[in-house]
Amino acid sequence: MRTFILKANTAITSPDFSLKDLPGTGGRIDLLCRFLNSAFLLSHGIRKDVRVFITLYGKPNPPKTIHFEGPKLKVRLNPDERSTSLILKKALEVGKDLREPTKEVEVFPGVYVSNMTFEDVVRRSMKDSTLYYLVEDGRPITEIEFPQNPAFVLGDHLGLGKEDERFLEGIAEKVRVGRRSYLASHVVAFVNIWLDGM
């Protein structure tokens, strides 16, 4: 199982965003759609061995976590942003009045929403996976022998904050792809293809 964890610093935590302006009204919710696309989609079909947690920290009600569980996923994930944003909208609708701190509510088969924090998600992933933090100054992933269940933590266009980085110290090895600073969706596409083996 591969896990990808994205901290989305500005992504809206209510369903009140417009499909006509995902970047603006959604606090860059378009980025989340492409992230899911890169994590799950193959040319014909989806990856069943992938799990994604997106932790949303934008207004008005952070944090919200949306969790996609590959082996249980029944909702159709299409490649385009608009259709994926509708799944996220529904998840945020269901999560609107959720009060429990870590309880997950199923939105569609294999899609869950909760109030879990970024730290909650990382702690939970540590239990069954080996953590890696994808960041510019890490070791090249081409030099690493990955274990059975790697979990990759990524920041969005703003990156992780100092506090998040301190939290990850000692629990997640820093790794990198390429030599420049890339969009999260490109990094995930690269990692997936690399892990498939060349």
Q: Which residues participate in the annotated binding site?
A: 134, 155
What is the residue whose two structure tokens read 């509510």? 105
The Cα 119–Cα 125 span in angstroms is 10
163 makes contact with its own copies (CB under 8 A)? no
- For its own copies, the binding residue among 75, 105, 171, 183 (CB under 8 A) is 183
**Residue 101 lies near its own copies (rule: CB under 8 A):** no
Rounded-to-integer distance, Cα 107 and Cα 81, Å: 19
- Does residue 69 contact residue 105 with C-beta atoms inside 8 Å? no
- Comparing CB distances to its own copies, the nearer of 108 and 194 is 194
Residues in 102-141 that interact with its own copies by CB under 8 A: 140-141
Burial 156-177 (b: 16+ CB within 10 A, else e): beeebeeebeebbeeebebbbb
Q: Find out whether the peptide bond into 79 is cis, omega within 30 degrees of 0.
A: no
Q: Does 192 bind its own copies (CB under 8 A)?
A: yes
Residue 111 vs 177, nearer CB to its own copies = 177
Q: Establish if 145 lies at the interface with its own copies (CB under 8 A).
A: no
Q: Is 97 left (phi over 0), alpha (psi -120 to 50) or beta?
A: alpha
**154 binds its own copies, rule: CB under 8 A:** no
Sheet hosting strand 2-8, strand order edge to edge: 105-108, 111-114, 64-69, 50-56, 2-8, 150-155, 130-140, 173-176
Residue 37 binds its own copies (CB under 8 A): yes
Q: Find the binder of its own copies among 10, 38, 55, 114 (CB under 8 A).
A: 38
Q: Tell me the sheet residues that pair with 71.
A: none
* Per-residue x/- track, 42-61, its own copies (CB under 8 A): xxx-----------------
20 binds its own copies (CB under 8 A): yes
Contact flag: residue 9 with its own copies (CB under 8 A): no
Binding site for its own copies (CB under 8 A): 19-23, 30-31, 34, 37-38, 41-44, 78-83, 140-142, 157, 177-183, 185-187, 189-190, 192-194, 196-198
